[in-house]
Amino acid sequence: MDTLVNDVLNYLFATLPISGKRLFIRLCKRTNTFKDNMSELELSFQKMIDDTGFITKRNYWRFYDPLSKYTIELLYDDYELPDCYVTVDNLVLCECEIVKICVTQKKLSVIEKISKLKICSRYVHYVVWWAASMGNIDILEWGYNSYKRKFASNITAAAIRGNQMGAFLWLVDKGYKVINETVECAAKYGSIDTIKFIITQYGGSCNIGHCVAQNQNPGVVEYVHSINPHLLRGIGDGAIKMSDSKLFKFAVDNGYVNESEKKMRGIRYMRCKSFKIFRWFFDHGSFFQDGVTHDAVATGNLKCLQFLCSKNSIVLDKTLFETAAKNYDIPMMKFLYELKCPFDVFLLRDFIDGFYSQKKRSSKTELWEMIKILETWNCKWIGVCELAAVFGDLEILKYAYERGSLLTKWVMYEAVRYEYLHIVIWLRENNCKCTAAIYTACAAHESLDILKWLRNYNNFRVSCQLPSTESAICPWDNRTCISAMQNKNLKMLKFAVENGCDYSDIFNYYSIDYGVDIHNYIESLPYK
């Protein structure tokens, strides 16, 4: 390999996935240049993982842990996990998205090894649910044969949700029941053949009209209406919810609403984003100037809001701006500002919350552009530090702090609650107080790495590879042990006791209700 010219080596390195790049560096002797680039490539990869929500909608923070970092890289590149990676210390394996990824990549051997670790009580449940929704019979058979226990009651619904008739029939053959949710999933997601089969074999559901409208397949809708005209109301309601003007017309033409119902339906379902449906209700006298309707209009229907303004049929209030911000609706917010709609001091916080609450994450560049605009509107940074800690966003946390947002005790609490060690480190460097109550939060939320860092257990502040100037050992007290016991966290309780934490008060609180293992461990301790 070393005889190849540098251009060829550079080309090979550039084309490899990130885990392949690591292997390339190990095999190739000319590694200096490649190693120099690796840190930058790692950061770029980790940013992509956060931006795409590959692991979680929040920012993933355990990249400092080599085991977690390499596991994510291997799974992203669809490589097999070595046995040494499948261990109780590899906490990324607990993430729900990792379960989905393993099922998607058909890694049955890895799934089987993880299940034996017993790091998550519902691990097998998550595995078979995803297997049913993806039609993976091999994994379903493994779960059925290995654990000899019933799957969740909605397992047949998972198969139908994924349009996996093979998996559905396999589950039915094994005795799993078809419940209302199964029929509703067939109505929402199934083909015409699927819905016909389910209804013929297992009957309908009272909610199927509303569900079938979400299918947005005219053939399915017409079939359901033909066998049960009484489902028309649900079909019409669903059409409004889905903003489907063609389906709404079908419902109206078939008698969806009479004159006495128009106002009631207009008030209740004004969250529709279809201007045609909105205009129909408005023209039929179904619009009322109440807070519910204003709030509904602000969920994204800019054209409707503009129409109402032209008719002087809307009262501007703070709830409009708040809802638009929480829905991360930038065009709506700009329009409301032009109308001089009032907003409260939490608008910036609501907007950032809306960014992280999206099902599909928008560009961070767009977020920052709008933040700059909100600053020109004199929006305050009240409560943003706490929100940044919830989502592990150090960039926003720093920016908010520089602009006056306070580092309250709740900022530290949220960082501990969601296990963001990098946030905790930054907070300590900026003099955010660390009281004994923080250890209680660590024990309650199983934030063992944070507890290790606060106590500098086994020089953890160095081994975690996150730079820090912290030298103080934060104090703890018996509340740590009590919290670990009450949350049935034996691992945390053992760590605290074995590392000198006062545990005297647990003898006044413990009982068999906290579990046999906790009870037996406390019984074995010297009485204080």
- Encoded tokens for 272: 């529709």
Q: State whether residue 278 is helix, strand or coil.
A: helix
CA–CA separation, 263 vs 280, rounded Å? 11
Question: Is the CB of residue 331 less than 8 Å from the CB of residue 366?
Answer: no
CA–CA separation, 324 vs 298, rounded Å? 5
| DSSP secondary structure letters along 180-205 | HHHHHHHHHH--HHHHHHHHHHH---
**DSSP-derived secondary structure letter, 82:** P
Domain assignment of residue 39, given as a range: 1-90
- Encoded tokens for 105: 């990549």
The Cα-based distances of 276 to 211, 240, 281, 378 in angstroms read: 22, 10, 9, 37
Does the structure show a pLDDT above 80 at 252?
yes
- CA neighbor of 444 nearest in space, from 422, 469, 417: 417
- The arithmetic mean of pLDDT across residues 210-222, rounded, is 85
Question: Is the CB of residue 141 less than 8 Å from the CB of residue 116?
Answer: no
In a domain, 22, yes or no: yes
In a domain, 406, yes or no: no
Does the structure show a pLDDT above 60 at 290?
no
The type of residue at 277 is: I
In a domain, 86, yes or no: yes
In a domain, 348, yes or no: no
Using a 10 angstrom Cβ sphere, with 0-12 exposed, 13-18 middle and 19 or more buried, the burial of residue 104 is: middle
What is the reported pLDDT for 153?
84
In a domain, 84, yes or no: yes
In a domain, 65, yes or no: yes
CA–CA separation, 280 vs 266, rounded Å? 9
Domains held by the chain: number: 1
CA–CA separation, 166 vs 168, rounded Å? 5
Question: Is the CB of residue 208 less than 8 Å from the CB of residue 224?
Answer: yes
Question: Is the CB of residue 71 less than 8 Å from the CB of residue 82?
Answer: no
pLDDT in tens, 66-86: 898 999 999 999 999 999 999
What is the reported pLDDT for 72?
93
CB-facing half-sphere around the CA of 393: CA atoms within 13 A: 24
In a domain, 452, yes or no: no
What are the helix (H) ranges across 339-393? Answer: 347-357, 364-376, 384-391
What is the reported pLDDT for 134?
96
**DSSP-derived secondary structure letter, 16:** S
What is the reported pLDDT for 292?
46
CA–CA separation, 210 vs 50, rounded Å? 35
Mean of pLDDT over the chain:
85
Helices 180-189 and 192-202: crossing angle, nearest 10°? 160
Question: Is the CB of residue 213 less than 8 Å from the CB of residue 269?
Answer: no
Phi, psi (5° rounding) for residue 216?
60, 30
Does the structure show a pLDDT above 60 at 1?
no
**DSSP-derived secondary structure letter, 100:** H
CA–CA separation, 81 vs 85, rounded Å? 6
What is the reported pLDDT for 129?
94
What is the reported pLDDT for 267?
47
- Name 73's Cβ contacts closer than 8 Å, sequence gap at least 6: 17, 18, 19, 22, 45
Instruction: Using pLDDT thresholds of 50, 70 and 90, give the confidence band for residue 298.
Output: low
In a domain, 33, yes or no: yes
Name the CA dihedral angle for 411, 434, 91, 117, rounded to a multiple of 10 degrees: -130
Helices 18-27 and 6-15: crossing angle, nearest 10°? 140
The Cα-based distances of 31 to 9, 14, 17, 38 in angstroms read: 10, 13, 17, 10
What is the reported pLDDT for 295?
55
- What length is written for the chain? 528
Phi, psi (5° rounding) for residue 405?
-70, 135
* Range in 113-122, 169-178, 259-268, 330-339 the model is least confident about: 259-268
